[in-house]
Structure 1
Amino acid sequence: MTATTVLPATAAVTSLHLTRLQLDPAHPLVQKDLRNGREMHRTVMSLFPQANGDTPRSDLGVLFRIEPQRHGLIMLVQSFIPAHLDALPVGYSTAADQRSLAPVLEWIQPGLPVRYRIVAHPTAVRGTGATDTRSRRVSLDGQEAADWWIRKAEAAGMDLHPGGTGHLAAPIRLGRSLAHRPVRFEGTATLTDTNAVHSALRYGIGQGKPYGCGLLSLAPHTPTRG
């Protein structure tokens, strides 16, 4: 399954790209990045040396996700412009490919059954006590996380099918603190709202986008006939 990004229907579709990197888990810089979300963010953004301004990641549509594989790790990086692969440290990636996502955009339409995958950080804003007016954002898990995803998927123009799964993904640390507790959601759905799907694919879903959360992947799904 590969990730897709689509501009809102009110805007013209720009050039969209997906970069797939086979990481070397033994490389010291890969290990360093996996231990610290800020370091990983810095490495990902190094692929876009032209980035500037106050919000370079969102301006360039940069989202990424780590995919554990049997023989290593894959990093998917999604962006509005091509990544500069020669910016990676030598040996960081053992294989890489990059392609335009423009052909993928053509099949996005309401009523389409799809497979989905996302590593997201389910959160909620809650007060700290019965008499305390302060609030803080907390991570969700279990049924609360599942309910969060149902709400987010509906807002993203997807009608989830029964049988989807949600499993804790690798935690994301920012220095010594545990900052994000992401959940990997997978399953099938039917697209219901083109504009909402476009927005979710373009901007990602939930918190932690600079650190590997929020990248929604969709692929066509052919339901099994009983």
Structure 2
Amino acid sequence: MYLSRIQINPARRGGRKLLGSPQAMHAAVLASFPQDDAERGRVLWRVDQDAHRSRLYVVSRPAPDFAHIVEQAGWQTTQDTWAVRPYGTLLDRLRPGQTWRFRLTANPSRTHEGKRLGHVTVSQQQEWFLSRTKGWGFTVPEHDGVPDVVVHDRRTDRFRRGAGTVTIAKASFDGVLNITDVDALRAALVAGLGPAKGYGCGLLTLAPQGRP
């Protein structure tokens, strides 16, 4: 398994296309692997954006080759175009009782009469997340009764697929977690959390306490 990071240049036309279209980004990510679906397995990705940079994170079984993304949408003049690291190093470090900072972009939603409906309020999205953490192998500590998680970057993506329109409610979650079940957390880190994994949801990343 590998955890990869690549910088996307929003000043370039190709960068704007990828950042503005989950379908285009999904296709670009999958094009980074020559393997067929069975050999490649599940690929998770997430875009983190702030005022200064846009980064694409990818978790995959085989190592990716992002040369085509750099050529069309990356920063060709910098050395730090992309980085690929073995994911097992992190997975092997996890132990019950450890505390980590986390980030997740997810599709908080429910199924009603066969249709997936997105949660739209902050309280709904936070409850969706907190009600599932035990199954994902961790808890979120509270301070004065308030969970240590912030819901931000809430948005709705809409795009055409075939003859229909796909609507995905997204929210990002930043906070602190305590590991309760290492095997469950490792499975969540590898397989992803929640629905819409093909469109930039479900990739949970961890960082040591104190590191941004």
| TM score, norm. by length of structure 2 | 0.84
Return the structure number with greater relative CO, CA threshold 8 A, min gap 6.
1
Partner of 1:19: 4
Partners of 1:18 and 1:98 within 8 A in 2:
yes
Partner of 1:75: 56
Greater mean deviation of Cα atoms: 189-198 or 87-96: 87-96
Residue 25 of structure 1 and its aligned partner are, at CA, apart by 0.4
Q: Give, as a single letter, the amino acid of the residue that structure 2 aligns with 1:137.
A: R
Equivalent of residue 99 in structure 1, options 85, 90, 107: 85
Identity of aligned residues (%): 27
CA distance 1:200–1:52, shift in 2 (3 Å): closer
Partners of 1:172 and 1:211 within 8 A in 2:
no
Count of aligned pairs between the two proteins:
196
Asked if 1:149 is matched to 2:129, the reply is yes
Asked if 1:193 is matched to 2:181, the reply is yes
What secondary structure does 1:109 align onto? coil
Unaligned runs of 5+ residues in structure 1 are: 1-15, 127-133
Partners of 2:59 and 2:190 within 8 A in 1:
no
**Rounded Cα–Cα distance in structure 1 between residues aligned with 2:15 and 2:166:** 19
Residue 88 of structure 1 and its aligned partner are, at CA, apart by 2.5
| TM score, norm. by length of structure 1 | 0.79
**Rounded Cα–Cα distance in structure 1 between residues aligned with 2:188 and 2:91:** 13
Residue 195 of structure 1 and its aligned partner are, at CA, apart by 1.6
What secondary structure does 2:184 align onto? helix
CA distance 1:120–1:77, shift in 2 (3 Å): same
Runs of 4+ in structure 1 deviating by more than 4 angstroms, as ranges, are: none
Q: Give, as a single letter, the amino acid of the residue that structure 2 aligns with 1:201.
A: L
Residue 170 of structure 1 and its aligned partner are, at CA, apart by 4.5
Partners of 2:2 and 2:84 within 8 A in 1:
yes
Partner of 1:117: 103
Partner of 2:116: 137
What secondary structure does 1:44 align onto? helix
What secondary structure does 1:210 align onto? helix
Residue 61 of structure 1 and its aligned partner are, at CA, apart by 3.0
What secondary structure does 1:154 align onto? coil
Partners of 1:119 and 1:169 within 8 A in 2:
no
Equivalent of residue 211 in structure 1, options 196, 199, 202: 199
Partners of 1:164 and 1:186 within 8 A in 2:
yes
Residue 169 of structure 1 and its aligned partner are, at CA, apart by 3.6
- 1:19-52 CA-to-partner distances (Å, cap 9, x unmatched) read 1111010222222223322111101101012233
Partner of 1:36: 21
